[in-house]
């Protein structure tokens, strides 16, 4: 499948039925050609619904909407109508977390009456659930706040590191939190003792991270190849060097996509190409070899065999690896 949309593509995902693209015109487009016009304005963030059916999107209209092929409905609105900056879901706990301005909000996909709102001193840039869906990490200026997802009144655990943190992820074993930073580096913490991990050396800002190989590797964008950090044992990447695959001095990796249980990786490049690889194997498979506009959205199917991509010109495709 390959198509061109007349709006910027903001995310690519796979639900139980196939690939889904979200657009800057507020629509959700399904692989079979069906679509829902759901937001009044751009879709800024998206995640697969905890049920695996359809996607949950956040927009600059301040609404969180669940879209499926046959229907769509509003799940929540932001505090003071502010736009929704980031969103994450937990299939394990059925919770959905999203940020708007300085607020982290949590709702329950199975309970329309459940909601928690947690205030921060600075704007929340990213949210991520731990593997069990019980805690949420919220990246913000100066570090990362850890919240218990269901407790109403609490003080967060603060993981501090100077600078602007632009996104966050938990390791699949729940032992580490990693943030992307504005100044072209990553920062991590080992949760059992809050020990810092400095992860630098990037030529450009890191926009995405993805875990693979049962959580033993974390891939990132931001360099001429996909950077791989080892997350093995109690120390994770501490004291270890990163490796790089797919190095090409003529381009940068803009996005990476992987699945924690699989050992394969997809990467989208600044020159419009997309490759798929098994880091333990040999060579790259260019599933999109034509050069063009930079890759703006990327996803790997649950079985690791399909790649959904989109570029900054509105071109999109789903290809077999």
DSSP string spanning 101-140?
A: TTEEEEEETTEEEEEEEEE-SS-EEEEEE-TTSSEEEEEE
Q: What's 36's DSSP letter?
A: E
Sign of the Cα torsion 136, 137, 138, 144 reads: positive
Domain 205-321 grouped into CATH 2.130.10.10: yes
Maximal CA-CA distance, the chain: 53
Q: What's 74's DSSP letter?
A: E
Q: What is the pLDDT of residue 70?
A: 85
Reading the chain (321 residues) residue by residue, the pLDDT tens digits are: 899 999 999 999 999 999 999 999 999 999 999 999 999 999 999 999 999 999 999 999 999 999 999 899 999 999 989 999 999 999 999 999 999 999 999 999 999 999 999 999 999 999 999 999 999 999 999 999 999 999 999 999 999 999 999 999 999 999 999 999 999 999 999 999 999 998 999 999 999 999 999 999 999 999 999 999 999 988 888 888 899 999 999 999 999 999 999 999 999 999 999 999 999 887 899 999 999 999 999 999 999 999 999 999 999 999 999
Q: Which of 128, 133, 54 has its CA nearest to residue 93? A: 133
Q: What is the pLDDT of residue 260?
A: 95
The C-alpha atoms of residue 257 and residue 268 are separated, in whole angstroms, by: 9
Q: How many Å from the N-terminal Cα to the C-terminal Cα in the chain?
A: 13
Tokens of 22: 């979200």
| Contact in structure between 143 and 161 (CB atoms under 8 Å) | yes
Could you tell me the pTM of the whole model? 0.96
**Phi, psi for residue 60 in degrees, rounded to 5:** -80, 5
All residues at 6 or more sequence positions from 114 whose CB lies less than 8 Å from its CB, including other chains: 106, 107, 108, 150
The C-alpha atoms of residue 156 and residue 21 are separated, in whole angstroms, by: 34
Residue with tokens 């692989």: 31
The C-alpha atoms of residue 134 and residue 245 are separated, in whole angstroms, by: 34
Q: What's 108's DSSP letter?
A: E
Q: What is the pLDDT of residue 80?
A: 87
Burial of residue 47, with CB atoms counted within 10 A of its CB: 0-12 exposed, 13-18 middle, 19 or more buried: buried
Tokens of 55: 């996607």
| Contact in structure between 206 and 185 (CB atoms under 8 Å) | yes
Q: How many helices (H) and strands (E) does the chain have?
A: 0, 30
The C-alpha atoms of residue 286 and residue 281 are separated, in whole angstroms, by: 15
């Amino acid at each position: 499948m390959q198509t061109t949309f007349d709006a910027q593509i903001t995310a690519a995902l796979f639900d139980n039925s196939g690939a889904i693209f979200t657009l800057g015109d507020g629509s959700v487009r399904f692989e079979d050609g069906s679509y829902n016009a759901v937001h009044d304005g751009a879709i800024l963030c998206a995640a697969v619904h905890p049920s695996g059916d359809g996607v949950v999107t956040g927009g600059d209209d301040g609404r969180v909407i669940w879209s499926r092929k046959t229907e769509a409905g509003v799940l929540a609105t932001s505090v003071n109508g502010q736009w929704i900056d980031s969103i994450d879901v937990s299939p394990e706990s059925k919770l959905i977390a999203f940020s708007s301005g300085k607020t982290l909000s949590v709702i329950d996909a199975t309970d329309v009456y459940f909601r928690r709102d947690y205030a921060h001193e600075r704007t929340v840039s990213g949210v991520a659930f731990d593997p069990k869906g019980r805690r949420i990490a919220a990246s913000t200026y100066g570090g990362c706040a850890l919240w218990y997802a269901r407790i109403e009144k609490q003080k967060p655990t603060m993981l501090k590191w100077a600078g602007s943190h632009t996104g966050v992820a938990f390791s699949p074993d729940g032992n580490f939190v990693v943030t992307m930073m504005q100044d072209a580096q990553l920062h991590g913490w080992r949760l059992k003792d809050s020990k810092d991990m400095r992860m630098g050396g990037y030529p450009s800002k890191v926009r995405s991270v993805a875990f693979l190989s049962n959580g033993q590797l974390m891939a990132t964008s931001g360099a001429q190849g996909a950077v791989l950090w080892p997350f093995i044992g109690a120390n994770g990447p501490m004291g270890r060097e990163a490796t790089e695959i797919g190095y090409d001095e003529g381009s940068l990796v803009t996005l990476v996509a992987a699945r924690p249980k699989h050992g394969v990786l997809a990467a989208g490049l600044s020159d419009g190409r997309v490759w798929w690889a098994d880091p333990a194997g040999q060579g790259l498979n260019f599933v999109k070899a034509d050069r063009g506009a930079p890759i703006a959205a990327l996803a790997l199917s649950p079985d690791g065999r399909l790649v959904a991509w989109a570029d900054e010109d509105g071109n999109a495709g789903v290809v077999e690896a």
